Structure 1
Amino acid sequence: MKKFLFLGTILFTVLLIGCQEKEEVEPEERLQEYADHWMNQEFEKMYKMVAETEKEDFIDRYQKIYKDLEINKVDVSFDVPDTEEKEKNDEAETEVFPLKVSMESVAGPITFDTEVEMKKVVKEVEGEEKTDWLVNWNPGLIFPEIKDGGTIGLETIEPKRGEIYDRNREGLAVNASVYELGVVPEQFTDDKIKSEKETIAKALGITVEEIDNALDANWVQPNYFVPLKVVPSLTDEIEKAISSVPTLKTQTTTGRIYPLGEAAAHLVGYIAPVTAEKLEDLDDASYSENDMVGYRGLEELYEEQLRGEAGVKITVEKEGQEPVILAEKEVKNGENLNLTIDIKAQKKIFEQMDNEPGTATAIDPKTGETLALVSSPSFDPNAFIYGLSNTQWTEWQEDPNNPLLNRFASTFAPGSVFKPITSTVGLENGSIDPNETFEIDGLTWQKEGWGNYYITRVSPSNGPVDLDDALVRSDNIYFAMQALDMGADAFVKGLKEFGLGEDVPFTYPIEKSTISSDGNITEEVLLADSSYGQGEVQMSALHLASAFSIFLNDGNMVKPTLLLDEADGESWKQGLISAENSSLIKESMRRVVTHGTGKAANLDSIEIAGKTGTAELKQSKDEENGQENGWFVGYPTDGSILISMFIEHVEDNNGSGYVTEKAANVLAELKE
C-alpha cells in the first residue's frame, strides 16, 4: 500500500497531453476532492459527493456537531492500493479506503481510523455515459462511535476560582458557603400571599415585581424551589422573614466572599457578571455572557491566573452502554494568590481612618513586604455579587468623598514629609552642612525679586536654624534656602535617585511619582516650594514608605512587594545615604515626635519616630485659605514596620496632628 498524494504529477501529465480530458475518473481522485472539502469544512460541497443521503442528516448534522464541539484543524488522509492490486479491482463496483482523521476540539485532539467506501456510478453527460464515484456515507464518518446511533454529549466542568490570602493564610477573597434564598410557590398562604411577598421583598432588598417575574419563569414547575437571591450571610431581618413566612426557604451553595469587605475592596476588587462591553475587551472566546469576571483590584489584574480553565468532556452515549469518551480536557482550577498583606494591619488602618478620604500604606522596611494598602472611604465588594441596588450605586457615585476612587494607587503633594528626602539629597551631595545655621526672622521670607510671593513657616525659631531644628519644627524657609543654594540640577538629580519620575516596580499598578509636570525645575519659586513637598511634587503613599526605608535599611531603598513568593528583600535603589547621615535624620525624626510637630505620636506604650506633613492646595499663589491634606510617615524605633498615612481636608482637624495620632494608634495596636 502507498500513501495517496494528489499533487503535481497528475497536473504535469495533463499538460503533456495538451489538456486532453480523462475518460474515467479514479475513486481516489474523488475521495481526495471529498477530503479537501472535509478539511475546509465545506459541507455543501461534501454533500454533492455522497450517495443516497438526506441533506438534513448530512449538512445540518455536520454543521451543528462541528460548531458545538468547536472543531478545527481537520486533517484527512487515506491509503490506496498499489498498481497490481488496483488492476485486479478495475471492474469492482465499490472500493474501500482506510481513512485516518484528526481534528482539534474544545476538549482537545480527536483522532480515529475508519474506512470509507467509494461507490461507482454511471452518469450521462452530453449523451454519453461516464463513470464517476461517490462516497457511500454513513454517520460513522463523523465519529465511528455513532455509526449505529448514539448521542454526542458535551460536558463542561467549571474551574474553581483561585483564592486570595494574606501572609498568614487568612482569606481576602475566598470560595465559601453562601445562602440561596427562594420560595416554593404552592406554599404561599392563600389569604396572605400579598403581605408574604412584601415581607420577603423587604428582607431580601428586592421588589415584589422581581419575585413575580421569578415565579412566572417558563421552567418553574409545581413544588419547585424558585431561587430569588444569594446572600453571603443571613441578616436578622432575613432570619425573621424565614421564621414568619413558611414558603421562604434557604439552601447553601458556593460563592465568592470578601471577608474584609470595605477594608480591602480597592486592593482585592470583586467579581461580577461579565458585561457586553467587558466581553469585547476580554477578546477571549472562552468567555460567555453567563460568566463571572474580575473587576478592579487583584481580581481583575490576575483574572487569567485566578480564573483557571474549564474542563471539557465529549462523549457518545448509547442506551444501556457506558459512555464512550471521544476527547477530554481536564479542568484546571485557578491559582491562589498569597500576598504579603497582613489582614490585621489592613483592618486596623482602615478602621482608624474612619471613612475619612485618604490612603495609607504599611511595609516591612527591611524586606519591602507590603503589609497594608488602604484606600478610604471604600465600598462593599460583596454587593456586586449578591445584589447591588440602584440606590446604593447612586449613593457611591454621588458621594463627595468618592468611595470608588482608589487612592493608594494615586499620587498627592507630600508636603513636609518630603523634607527628610530633601535632607538626604543635600547631605549626600554636600550642599547641606547639618551644623550650618541660618538666621531667620518671623514667619515669612522671600528672595529679592519674588514680588508678592513669600515662603511661610508654621512656627518662629528661637535662634539660628540648623538641619535638626528645621526638621523638628518643619521649617519651610530653611529648606527653601537650602534648595536655592543647592541648585535645581543637583536637587533634581538627587530626587531621580529616589525613583521620582520612574514607574514603581510593584505588582499592583501605582501612579509614578513626579518632580514636576515635565520632570525639570526651571524657576526659583518652584525649586523653593519643591524642597518642602509643595510645588508640583507628587508621590504615592507606597513610594514615600519605600523612600523612608533607607533610614532603616542601611541606606538602601527597598523594592516594595505584594506577592509572598516574590518577597526577597531586593533593593529598588542602593546607597542613598551614609550611616552617619542616616543616624542624624533618624535622631531628628525621633525628636519630631518628642519635641516637634509630631507630638501626637509620643505615646508611652511605644517609641515612634517619623515626619509630619501638611500640603496646602491652592488654585493660585494669591489664594490664602486652600484645602489642607495631612501626612505622617513613621515607624517604631525598632524598625519593624513603617507606615505612610494621608488624609484629605485636615484644615479643621488639627492639621497633620490628626493624621499623626491615627498612624500612632495603628502602630501601638499592632505592637500589642
Structure 2
Amino acid sequence: MMKRFAILLTMGTITLLGGCGGPDAPEAELEAYINEWKEGNYSSMYTHFTSETKSAMTEEQFVKQYKNIMTDIEMDKLEVGLPSEEDVKEDNEKTVRLPFEVEMETIAGPVSFQKEAVMKLEETEEGEEWLIDWDPSFLLPNYAEGDKVRIQALEAERGQIFDRNGSSLAVNGTAVQIGVNAGAIDEAGKEALAKVLGSKKGFIDEQLSQSWVQDGYFVPLKTVASSNEALIQKATAVTGATTSSKAVRVYPYGASAAHLTGYTGEINAEELKENEGYAQGDQIGKRGLEQLFEEQLKETDGVQLFIEKEKGEPVVIAKKEPQNGQDVKVTINAEMQKLLFEQYGGTAGTASAVEPKTGEVLALVSSPSFDPNEFAMGVSGERYTALQDNPKQPLLNRFAAAYSPGSTMKPITASVAMKAKKLNPSEGKTITGLQWQKDSSWGNYRVTRVSESSAPVTLKSALVASDNIYFAMAALETGADQLKTGLQSFGFGTDYPFAYPLRDSQVSNSGEFESDILLADTGYGQGEVLTTMTHLANAYGAFLNSGSIMNPLLKLDDEPSVWQKELVTTDQAAIIKEGLRGVVERGTAQAANIEGMAVSGKTGTAEIKAEQGTTGKENGLFVSYDMNNPAFVLAFLVEDAANEGGSKLAVDKTSAFYVKWKLRNK
C-alpha cells in the first residue's frame, strides 16, 4: 500500500532504520532523494546515486541537464507516493525494488506516473549505504538516456468578428514577411533591398546585428499583404532576400470600417501590467471592436510536453489543449458601412444608421480614415507620425465624438414642448422679420431665421422652413426646467447605454440653462447642446416607434429593449413626420426627393462659435429615413461645409447613398 507523501520544504525526520549503527533503510534513502528533488538541490540528489550511475555522467552534467529541464517544464506541486514496508521487493541482500508514484504540475498540465526504484547496497566512505540505480525515467515517464524533452506551443486562433449578414470584419489570415537570409546578402544587395522596401540600409544592418542572428537564419524586415505581389517580386529578385508567411489579422473592409473594427498589435509593457493572462509578444486589441471585445476574442495557446525518443516515436506526456477565442457577431451592416464611407470621398465627417424598432446600430462611419491592415502588419514609426500629423486627422474617431446638432434638434425640441403642453402644433405663431429677441435684456443678441413667413407659423411649416425663431420661442415657453427634463428623457445629459464607448450627449456645458439666450439657442440646436450621430439617429426612432427609443445595440444576439418611452403621442409623431416629409418635398432637402422613395428628414447647419455673437466653422447635417420603408434612421454630418453649402452637402451625399443603396437592394 502506497502512502501519499506531500514533499515538504525541509527534509522530514527519517525514522526507518536498518538497525543500530547500520545503513538507513532503502525507503528512507529514497525519501531523502525526493526531498532534495523538491528543494531543487540537484547536487544533493546526485549523492544518492550508485557508483554505476555516477560513472555514466558527472555531477556537473547531471545538474546542468536535468535542473534546466525541470525549470523549462515549470515543474511545481511535486507529490510522491512512497512505498510501505510490504511494498518493498527484495531481489537479494544487496538489491531491493521500491515502487513509487509521482504527480507534478507542468507548463503543459499535470503529469503522473509510476516508477520502480532499484536500490543497491554499496560500500562508501561512510560505510554501507542504500543508493539509487538512477535513470532519467525517475524524473519523467518514458524518459531514457539519449532522449530529448520537448515543449511545443499549440497555437490557438483569435475569435473573428462578423457583421449581421456574416460578412467578415476582422478575420485571421496570413501575410508575407520580406526578409533576408543572414550571411547571404552583400552590401549592394542591402542597398537595393532597402530601396525596394522604402527603408534604409542602416535598418537592415541593425536587424542583422541582433544577438540571436546566425548565418542561415531568416531575418524579417517588413510584413506586407500577400496581394502585394509586385513588391514581393521586386524584393525577392535581390540576391539573399526571401520571404516567409506570417499569421496576421485581416480587415477586409479596410479604411471604411477602421475606426469601428480597430486593430490588434503586440502588447506593450503598460498593457501587460493591466491585463492578466498575457505574455510579452502576445497580440491584443488596440482599438475599436478588437479592444472592446478583447475578453471574448482572446485565444489561449496550448502546449504539449513530449519525449523525443532517440529510437521510436515521440511520446506525449502532458498536453494543454489550445482554446480558440469566441467569434463575435455585431449588428453592423458592413456593405452599408462601406457605401456610406465612400460617399465622403475623404471629406471629414461621420454617419450613423440605427434601426428604430430594435435599436440595432447598422453603421458607424468616421471619415477620413486609415487602413487597419497596416497596423496589424506592423506600421512603421515614420508612417504613424505621418498619419498623426495629417491635418485631416484620419486617426480621429469622429463617430465617438459629440457635435452640435443644429436644426436637426428641432423635432426633439417640439416633442419636449408638446409633452409639456407648452406648444400647440396646429396653432400658428405670428412672427415678423428675420430677427427676433425676447426683450431688451438680450442687448444686441437676436435669433435669426433664413426666410420670412407670410402667415402664422405652425409646427409643420416651421420644420419645413427650419424657422429658428419658432423653436427659440418654443424653448422659452417650455422653460429651463421642463426643457432640461424633456431633453433628459431623450437621453441628453444622461449616460448613453451603448456597448461602444461614445461621448454622452449634453444639454449644456454645465448641465443647466444659465440664461434665456442659451435656452433659446438650444431650442434650435445651437447653444451648447451636443450629441453623437448615433444618439441623434436613435432619438429620431421615437417618431417611428410609437414614442419609444430603443436601447442601442451592437451585439447581434442582444435582445431589443426600450430605453425611453412615451416621448410623443401617435398624433404628435404624425405631425412631426408630416413636417419631416415636407422638408424633403418642398423645404431644405429637396435633393433627397428620390423617385420610388419617400425620404423624410431634417437638415441642420451647426455653426461652431468660439463665443456667442461671433461666426465660426459650419458643419452640415441631415437626419433622414424612408417613410415607405423606415428600416433605419441615418444621421449624416459633414464637417466644415460652409463653402460647400452647409447642410446641402450632407443632403447631396445622403441622397447619393440612398440611390445606390436602393439599387443594391432591389
Q: Which of 48, 65, 73 is matched with 2:77 structurally?
A: 73
Secondary structure of 2:363 counterpart:
strand
Distance in 2 between residues matched to 1:266 and 1:155, nearest whole Å: 37
Alignment of 1:165 onto 2:155:
no
Aligned to 2:645: 654
Amino acid at match of 1:636: D
Aligned ranges 1:536-547 → 2 under 5 Å: 536-547=528-539
Instruction: Report sequence identity in percent.
Output: 41
Aligned to 2:10: none
Contact residue 43 and residue 63 of structure 2 kept, 8 A: no
Contact residue 174 and residue 226 of structure 2 kept, 8 A: no
Contact residue 599 and residue 624 of structure 2 kept, 8 A: yes
Greater shift, 544-553 or 439-448, is seen at 439-448
Greater shift, 28-37 or 110-119, is seen at 28-37
**Residue 547 of structure 1: CA displacement?**
0.9
The number of residue pairs the alignment matches comes to 641
Distance in 2 between residues matched to 1:96 and 1:641, nearest whole Å: 80
Secondary structure of 2:369 counterpart:
coil
Alignment of 1:3 onto 2:12:
no
Distance in 2 between residues matched to 1:183 and 1:2, nearest whole Å: 59
Sort the Cα spacing of 1:455 and 1:102 in 2 relative to 1 into closer, same or farther, 3 A: farther
Distance in 1 between residues matched to 2:360 and 2:352, nearest whole Å: 11
Q: Which of 409, 414, 420 is matched with 2:405 structurally?
A: 414
Distance in 2 between residues matched to 1:36 and 1:462, nearest whole Å: 101
Q: Which of 554, 573, 582 is matched with 2:546 structurally?
A: 554
**Residue 653 of structure 1: CA displacement?**
1.9
Aligned ranges 1:591-670 → 2 under 5 Å: 591-604=582-595, 606-622=597-613, 624-637=614-627, 638-670=629-661
Distance in 2 between residues matched to 1:516 and 1:345, nearest whole Å: 33
Aligned ranges 1:252-651 → 2 under 5 Å: 254-285=247-278, 287-289=279-281, 291-386=282-377, 388-448=379-439, 449-566=441-558, 568-604=559-595, 606-622=597-613, 624-637=614-627, 638-651=629-642
Distance in 2 between residues matched to 1:135 and 1:456, nearest whole Å: 100
**Residue 375 of structure 1: CA displacement?**
0.8
Structure 1 residues without counterparts, runs of 5 or longer: 8-12, 14-21
Amino acid at match of 1:266: H
Secondary structure of 1:156 counterpart:
strand
Distance in 1 between residues matched to 2:67 and 2:233, nearest whole Å: 54
Contact residue 349 and residue 367 of structure 2 kept, 8 A: yes
Sort the Cα spacing of 1:5 and 1:160 in 2 relative to 1 into closer, same or farther, 3 A: closer
Sort the Cα spacing of 1:44 and 1:537 in 2 relative to 1 into closer, same or farther, 3 A: farther
Question: What TM-score comes out, normalization by structure 1 length?
Answer: 0.84
- Aligned-pair RMSD on alpha carbons? 3.8
Contact residue 415 and residue 615 of structure 1 kept, 8 A: yes
Superimposed CA distance per residue, residues 621-663 of structure 1 (whole angstroms, 9 cap, x where no aligned partner): 24x2112222211111120222111222122221112112212
Secondary structure of 1:298 counterpart:
helix
Contact residue 108 and residue 304 of structure 2 kept, 8 A: yes
Contact residue 613 and residue 631 of structure 1 kept, 8 A: yes
Superimposed CA distance per residue, residues 413-445 of structure 1 (whole angstroms, 9 cap, x where no aligned partner): 222212212222222232221123322222332
Sort the Cα spacing of 1:26 and 1:482 in 2 relative to 1 into closer, same or farther, 3 A: farther
**Residue 378 of structure 1: CA displacement?**
0.8
Distance in 1 between residues matched to 2:173 and 2:6, nearest whole Å: 60
Secondary structure of 2:300 counterpart:
coil
Distance in 2 between residues matched to 1:246 and 1:204, nearest whole Å: 14
Distance in 2 between residues matched to 1:131 and 1:491, nearest whole Å: 99
Contact residue 4 and residue 80 of structure 1 kept, 8 A: no
Aligned to 1:111: 112
Distance in 1 between residues matched to 2:65 and 2:541, nearest whole Å: 68
**Residue 36 of structure 1: CA displacement?**
5.9
**Residue 92 of structure 1: CA displacement?**
7.6
Q: Which of 148, 151, 164 is matched with 1:151 structurally?
A: 148
Aligned to 1:205: 198
**Residue 249 of structure 1: CA displacement?**
6.0
Contact residue 23 and residue 130 of structure 2 kept, 8 A: no
Greater shift, 658-667 or 23-32, is seen at 23-32
Distance in 2 between residues matched to 1:618 and 1:304, nearest whole Å: 42
Sort the Cα spacing of 1:6 and 1:250 in 2 relative to 1 into closer, same or farther, 3 A: closer
Secondary structure of 1:280 counterpart:
helix
**Residue 62 of structure 1: CA displacement?**
5.0
Distance in 2 between residues matched to 1:6 and 1:366, nearest whole Å: 63
Question: What TM-score comes out, normalization by structure 2 length?
Answer: 0.85
Secondary structure of 2:400 counterpart:
coil
Sort the Cα spacing of 1:70 and 1:251 in 2 relative to 1 into closer, same or farther, 3 A: closer
Contact residue 359 and residue 541 of structure 1 kept, 8 A: yes
**Residue 264 of structure 1: CA displacement?**
0.9
Aligned ranges 1:191-270 → 2 under 5 Å: 194=188, 200-211=193-204, 218-221=213-216, 228-235=221-228, 238=231, 241=234, 254-270=247-263
Distance in 1 between residues matched to 2:40 and 2:247, nearest whole Å: 44
Distance in 1 between residues matched to 2:215 and 2:553, nearest whole Å: 51
Contact residue 426 and residue 486 of structure 1 kept, 8 A: yes
Amino acid at match of 1:219: Q
Amino acid at match of 2:506: T
